[in-house]
A and B are shown apart, each in its own frame.
Chain A
Amino acid sequence: MNVVSMVVNRLVWFVPTVLGLLAVVFVLARIVPTDPAVLAAGENATAEQVQEARERLALDRPLPEQFVEYLRQVVQGDLGTSFYTQQPIVDDLTERLPATLELTILGVLAAGLIGVPLGVISGLNRNSWLDHLLRLVSVLFIGVAPFWIAMQLQLLFSMQLGWLPLSGRIDDFAPEAMTGFLTIDALVAGDLQNFLSALRHIVLPTLTLALPGAAVIVRFTRTSVVEAVNSPSVAYQTAMGLPRRVIVWKYILRLALNSTVTQLGLVFGISLTGAVVIEAVFEWPGLGTYAVRSILHSDYNAVMGVTLCVGVLFALSNLLVDLLQMAIDPRGAT
């Protein structure tokens, strides 16, 4: 399958998936215990005003009709207004998306940077004490709750040692937004103080996010390395008398890395899920905190908007992983 047809295939599947997703969330939003019309009308609203809000929001019409109306607006790029922030949800989301992306991308990168080398070491030194230690540690990090780890990191690095900030994204107001990634924006603006501040703030959330992902990558890379070591081609090269260093770099790592890339999608998924709760612990102003707050406040337009946004993000990341895989190994991709 070539790249174009794969992208098209993805897109074709994407539309019904998102439609279905929206339908699920739409129904959920309608069974919330709080009446959305009352929320929209605000405090002190009279019965007529609530009724007026009900009509304005089309809440008095049958559910399918409401859904179609909602879709019509979504297509026009209008996700409605948040009851809570009084802002168009599109604005709310664009404000918060970069924060989540910055954290997730750094988290996945860190997971890869920690996970791949350790996995390779573990796999090349199979059954050594180092291998056993790494396996134990990685299994531990898969088993530990991210929010618990986050709190322990906060306890140690922020409360006891005072090295890193406990929560938030930056000390001051953000530098002029260009990418929305504070570290990059500050660097571009040549604002060292803000850059350091942003960097110090992102360390602990990134670490928390990266650890479970790194653990998954260690385990997977180890398996692929072991597999590669035992593969016929490597056995052949060894028999041919190629130096071990060359074999490791030229063959084993390439084989192992190929299969590791496939795991990145999985890790991105873990990270995005992790971000929801990690953002809550670190008060990171991203989509996760927005989703949780909207849900807790029965802000149903916002809930639908954020679900849609995360769904698109998820789909895009899967697409990206597929493309990456195809670039690395055109034969293997399906």
Chain B
Amino acid sequence: MATSRREILKLGLLGLASLAGNSESASAQSRNRFVFANSSAFDSLDPHTVFDQGRAAVRFNLYDGLLRFVDNPPKLIPWLAESYAVSDDGKTYTFKLRADATFHDGTPVTSADVAYSIERILALRKGPASFYLDLIEPGSTQTPDPHTVVFNLTDPSAIFLTTVPNILVVNSALVRSKEKDGDWGAGWLARNEAGTGSYILRRYEPAVGWSGQRFTNHFAGWAGQPIDEIEFRTVQETNTRVLGLMRGDFDGADGLTYEQIQRLRPSPNVQILEAESMRIFLLALNNSKPLMNDVHFRRALAYSFDYDGFIKNIMKDSVTRNPGPNPVTIWGSPPGLKGYSFDLAKAREELAQVKQPLRKISINALAGYSESEQAAVLFQSALRQIGIEADIDVTPWPVVASRFAKAETQADVTPVWRSTFYVDPNNWVGEGFGTRYHGTRTMSYYSNPAFDQLLDQALLTNDHERRRELYEQMSQIVSDDAAGIFIYNTRWFGPYSTRVSGIRFSPASNGNDIRWATMTR
């Protein structure tokens, strides 16, 4: 009796031990598999609707565009297209497709697929559609032969080419067969994949994430020892990402604050890659609201943010000040642009010139991003010192985005990031402050005819030096007018397992382009 009880106890303890035992054994025996802990949830895999950087992994690994951004500073390289030509009037773009590219199901890629993809983007009107809605008429894209596609723009556009990587090509035959009630296959493509990308979707569970297997027949070929299996898991809890990296459960992660990066440094399993990125953090101002439409009031606000304190204490000096609307790492900012400093005396001087009655202003911080919340709180506390009251509201990104859609709903102040959607100053200063982008990609509802005139010119000309001048002037105007409050440019910190090498970082992919990387087995 006593013995048997002891036996049972032992068994129980063994069970407990195996339960508590860490899973290192499990990950050690795993093959050539790269597991990434992604802070954003993959609720949909549709490459034409999901367009935030947090979920860029889907776009870069399962799909391909005609061109592709790689490296830092970013280079545009031929991808599904082997060459392109622009007409003299700058309105016709002709792309020659590679002959050897196939989709994951073996179907060859033809110009019809490209045409279907752009039509689909235009019809769904989400994500990348805003680049093309006023530039390409539905039905205007031509396919003279299976390997030639011609985009006919309504106006010349200097930025069209840099947005082309966003026209991800889907298998038109496959998607068509899944269309339901004219939904362009949106229901199906949200959970499935129909691409040419370097990896084939193997499993997808919205609550867990997705995994992909290397597409050995990928047209770009494979060099060295590529990774065979990739897995992007949704791990919203920051500490789980940190601990998982330390334990070797994860080979990469995003969305960590600098403090967490510092915590990872001593870990023998983790290496931290670093790069200057192109992602600015700003307080987006809604210039169209009463009081906010007064330049003196906006300047008073701009003098009321403790830039140095924020960067030094909250960001731990991991980033550098970015005084203007464009990241300092790209061209288009006037040399020596000063920007504003934390100076409450000057803020009071500007405030004294405000004619309209003061009112309480609204700050809309981003839920789940403590830096955005802390910037909001810091700003609110400084504003109180110059006699301006502010209410803070914290909402998730989709709600913030839907508020940005209308001048009436965008909050007075929104602490937010602007990432690289394409590598051109237009991505920041142009879209952020041009009247033509109101209701689509604006961050300010700023409207200034002088600015708009410069913008029109910059979009029409292909003369790089001329464009540099124009964007520098625009940046100067935005800065003088305090149409936004610009805080810092992000430095990218990529925590990876020491087994990983060859991560090819580009501000467009944020390191999510896995095909170039290698893992020791």
Q: Which residues of chain B from 93 to 136 have a CB within 8 Å of any chain A CB?
A: 124-127, 129-130, 133
Contact call B399/A164, Cβ cutoff below 8 A: no
B237 and A44 contact, CB distance less than 8 A: no
User: In the bound complex, do residue B240 and residue A168 qualify as a contact, i.e. CB atoms below 8 Å apart?
Assistant: yes
* CB within 8 Å of B: which A153-197 residues: 154, 158-159, 162-171, 173-174, 193, 196-197
Q: Known contacts A39-B402, A44-B130, A85-B43; decide if A167 and B19 are in contact (CB<8 Å).
A: no
The total of interchain contacts (Cβ-Cβ below 8 angstroms) comes to 114
Does any Cβ of A come within 8 Å of B18's Cβ? Answer: yes
Contact A87 B243 (CB under 8 A): no
Q: Least Cβ distance of B493 to chain A in Å?
A: 21
Which single member of A44, A167, A173 contacts B208 (CB below 8 Å)? A173
B187 touches A86 (CB 8 A): yes
Q: Which residues of A contact B406 (CB under 8 A)?
A: 38
Measured between beta carbons, the chain B residues less than 8 angstroms from A199 are 19
Query: Does A163 lie within 8 Å of B190, measured CB to CB?
Result: no
The answer to whether B356 has its CB under 8 Å from any CB of chain A is no
Q: Which residues of B contact A165 (CB under 8 A)?
A: 240
CB-CB under 8 A from A254, the residues of chain B are none
User: What residue of chain A has the Cβ atom nearest to residue B209's Cβ?
Assistant: A173
Interface residues on chain A, number (Cβ under 8 Å): 44
Bound-state CA distance A100–B138 (Å) is 45
Q: Which residues of A contact B23 (CB under 8 A)?
A: 171, 197, 200
Segment with Cβ contacts to A, from B150-158, B168-176, B199-207, B427-435: B199-207
CB of B26 closer than 8 Å to a CB of A: yes
| Interface size class, chain B | 35 or more
Minimum CB–CB distance from B104 to chain A (whole Å) comes to 19
Q: Is B22 an interface residue (CB 8 A)?
A: yes
Contact of B127 among A43, A169, A174, A282 (CB under 8 A): A43
* B367 in the interface (beta carbon within 8 A): yes
A283 within 8 A of B: yes
Give the distance in Å from the alpha carbon of A199 to the alpha carbon of B18 in the complex. 11
A166 x B240 contact (CB < 8 A):
yes
Nearest Cβ on chain B to A90's Cβ, whole angstroms: 13
Q: Contact between A43 and B405 (Cβ–Cβ < 8 Å)?
A: yes
In the bound complex, how far is the Cα of B399 from the Cα of A298, in angstroms?
A: 8
A117 at the interface (CB under 8 A from B): no
Q: In the complex, which of the residues A99, A166, A171 contacts B239, with contact meaning CB atoms closer than 8 Å?
A: A166
**Interface assignment of A285: CB less than 8 Å from any CB of chain B:** yes
Q: Which of A61-101 contact B (CB under 8 A)?
A: 84-87, 92, 95-96, 99
Q: B399 and A42: CB pair below 8 A?
A: no
Q: How far is the CA of A204 from the CA of B188 in the complex (A)?
A: 36
| A258 partner residues in chain B, CB cutoff 8 A | none
Within 8 A of A (CB), among B237-286: 237, 239-240, 243, 247, 249
Contact between B208 and A285, CB atoms less than 8 A apart: yes
For residue A203, CB closer than 8 A to chain B, the reply is yes
Shortest B61–chain A CB gap in Å is 17
Contact of A159 with B205 in the complex, beta carbons under 8 Å: no
A283 touches B130 (CB 8 A): no
Quick check: B130 and A174 within 8 Å, CB to CB?
A: no
Q: Is the CB of B187 within 8 A of A87?
A: yes
A79 to chain B, nearest CB (A): 15
Contact between chains at B190 and A87 (CB < 8 Å)? yes
* Contact A44/B133 with A173-B208, A199-B19, A285-B207 known, Cβ cut-off 8 Å: yes
Contact between B125 and A44, CB atoms less than 8 A apart: yes
Question: Is A318 in the interface zone, CB < 8 Å from B?
Answer: no
Q: Are B240 and A196 in contact (CB under 8 A)?
A: no
A25–B46 CA distance with the chains assembled, in angstroms = 30
Cα(A166)–Cα(B249), bound, Å: 12
Tell me, yes or no, whether B502 is within 8 Å of chain A by CB.
no
Identify B46's interface contact among A86, A164, A203, CB under 8 A: A86
A38 touches B402 (CB 8 A): yes
B300 close to A (CB within 8 Å): no
The 5 closest A-B pairs by CB, nearest first: A285-B207, A163-B20, A167-B237, A166-B240, A167-B240
A sample of 6 more A-B contacts (CB under 8 A), given A34-B402, A43-B401, A168-B235, is: A84-B43, A95-B207, A168-B237, A282-B237, A283-B240, A297-B398
24 contacts between A and B (CB under 8 A): A38-B405, A38-B406, A39-B402, A43-B126, A43-B402, A44-B126, A44-B133, A86-B49, A95-B207, A162-B22, A163-B20, A164-B20, A165-B240, A167-B237, A167-B239, A167-B240, A171-B23, A173-B208, A193-B26, A283-B237, A283-B240, A285-B207, A296-B395, A297-B398
